[in-house]
Structure 1
Amino acid sequence: MPEDLFRKAARERRTLLNAWLMLNNPFAIELIGAAGWDCVTIDQQHGMGGNETLLACLTAARAAGLPAIVRVANDDPGLVGRALDAGAQGIMCPLINSVEEAEAFVRAVKYPPRGLRSWGPYRAKIGHADDYFASANGFTIACPQIETKGALEQLDDILGLDGVDMVCFGPNDLSVALTGRLDIWAKEVQDAMTLVLRKAREKSVMTLIFANDVDFAKPRIEEGWDIVAVGTDAGWFSAAAAATKAAVASSS
């Protein structure tokens, strides 16, 4: 079985840096791997491309040695199964509102008897020398997002579900849900963030957080979040393009 970097790093209390992809370009993934990032999230909720793009990105991620999480567009077993069969280790589900929705999501990620995932791991089983069916439920990662009032209110129950391996704290959507404005530094968001990290640790559930920028990311690394995403590939490209243009313009 391939090395499980996510669980290994969590046991070692070592934070992984996650490249969050919205442009979803295979060559960009190769560059990200060469730059030394630890893992990737391929965003199919707010990112570009469909299944063919997803497959190309997962192929590039494996070639670059980057374990991959796919954020599906919604809690759809078909989308979950397709991403897993294509080789994603983790599946992230946005906008979970209740423990019932989280349970349905976990069942889509896991094979029977825990879940309802259909058999057909055409790329997922590559590199698994042993029986993929026997090892898959312990290798794959079900990661519901905590970004709604409902998920926050039912946090204990969600974290207590068998098969919830990781949670992703989404500060942007949660800030809107809690305050009515986009403010990831709001006290309500900071308090929720502290709560989720503490509760997840108590339940031995891995934690991932999306940071809009480096200023938000650095304290999260110090706090010991297992995985920290720092901006997006689209944001990096936009910032670098603007900075290069400004540098050239100022010298002319």
Structure 2
Amino acid sequence: MSLAARLGAGEAVFSAWSAIPDSLTVELVAGLGFDAVTLDMQHGGHHEDSVLRDIAGIRLRGAHPLVRIPVGRFDMASRALDFGAEAVIAPMINSVDDARAFAASMKYPPKGGRSWGPSFAMPRSGATNQQNWLETANHETFSFAMIETRAAFAAVDDILGVEGIDGVLVGPSDFSIAWTGGRVVDHTLEDIMPAIASIAGKARAAGRHAAIYAADPQLAGRYHAMGYRLIASGSEAAYMAQGGSSILAAMRSGIGAPGQSL
């Protein structure tokens, strides 16, 4: 089932987050059990070549490939789709003009100005009919505009109204910085929670999708109750730290355990 179908059915979709541009590492992350993997080109180390290569490994493990592009790199949005991404996340979409430029790069005419050339995307998805691809791609590939500033929050209704914007994704850490005028970075800040809840409500009311990054995975339930259905969390460093700590604790607990032979 495609990402579009799962979100359309109201499923909760959990995405891993990848910052390390290494194909073997990404493939291992894709096998951890997350529904999707997001390749981060903004703050992570991913680049055009790693996105091209790593999408194949993500699909091989049965996960949905997503890409977060750098700020303003709408040309890379089209590239990510041509490489086989099912969704693209664009950071710092602060205005209707930003949203329109992003949407234009994501959708084929008449909704946008995406150029034809899915030479990697079609075979990686198993598609063979070009006409069918043209007719369905606009519905099967998602554009998520990030809402992480006061300007974006003020314009969120208009951003959601832009044809070709399929949803919004909230970055709570940046949102907390914006909300406090640069004084605090705290993704758990209680003052921002009503605004975050309202963004999900606005998205769903507009028939769009609500996504969020949960720096604390225990917040996933709270975000889900607000209406968020695509929830990302973690990073390679977090997955290794948690797994490594668990393994090391088990090793240490076995030293001197009853029944141990000397």
TM over 0.5: same fold?
yes
Alpha-carbon shift at residue 27 of structure 1 (Å): 2.8
Partner of 2:37: 40
Contact kept? 2:201, 2:227, Cα under 8 Å: no
What corresponds to 2:6 in structure 1?
Answer: 9
* Count of matched residue pairs: 249
| TM-score using structure 2 length | 0.87
2:97 equivalent to 1:104: no
1:188 aligns with 2:191: yes
Secondary structure of the structure 1 residue equivalent to 2:232: strand
Q: Distance in 1 between matches of 2:171 and 2:148?
A: 5
Query: Separation in 1 of the partners of 2:96 and 2:83?
Result: 27
Partner of 1:201: 204
**8 Å contact kept, 1:21–1:234:** no
Percent identity, aligned pairs only, is 33
User: What are the Cα deviations for residues 51-81 of structure 1, in whole angstroms up to 9, with x where unaligned?
Assistant: 2211121010111121111000122232112
Q: Deviations over 1:191-241 (max 9, x none)?
A: 111101110110111111100122222322344421111222222223333
1:15–1:224 Cα contact (<8 Å) kept: no
User: Which structure has the bigger radius of gyration?
Assistant: 2
Q: 2:214 aligns with which of 206, 211, 217?
A: 211
Q: Tell me which residue corresponds to 2:177.
A: 176
- Residue among 34, 56, 59 paired with 1:62: 59
Measure the CA separation in 1 of the matches of 2:96 and 2:252: 53
Quote the residue 2:230 is aligned against: 227
The corresponding residue for 2:146 is: 145
Deviation at 1:245, TM superposition (A): 4.7
Post-superposition Cα deviations, 1:160-217, rounded to whole Å, max 9, x if no partner, equal: 1111112111101111011121112223320111101110110111111100122222
Q: Where does structure 1 lack aligned partners over 5 or more consecutive residues?
A: none
Instruction: Name the structure 2 match of 1:156.
Output: 157
Structure 2 unaligned segments of length 5 or more: list them: 257-262
- Cα distance change on mapping 1:49 and 1:202 into 2, 3 Å: closer
Aligned CA RMSD, in angstroms, stands at: 2.0
Which residue identity is paired with 1:91?
V
Give me the whole-angstrom Cα distance separating, in 2, the residues matched to 1:93 and 1:169. Answer: 11
The answer (yes or no) to whether the contact 2:40–2:46 under 8 Å persists in 1 is no
- Would you identify which runs of 4 or more consecutive aligned residues in structure 1 move more than 4 Å? 242-252
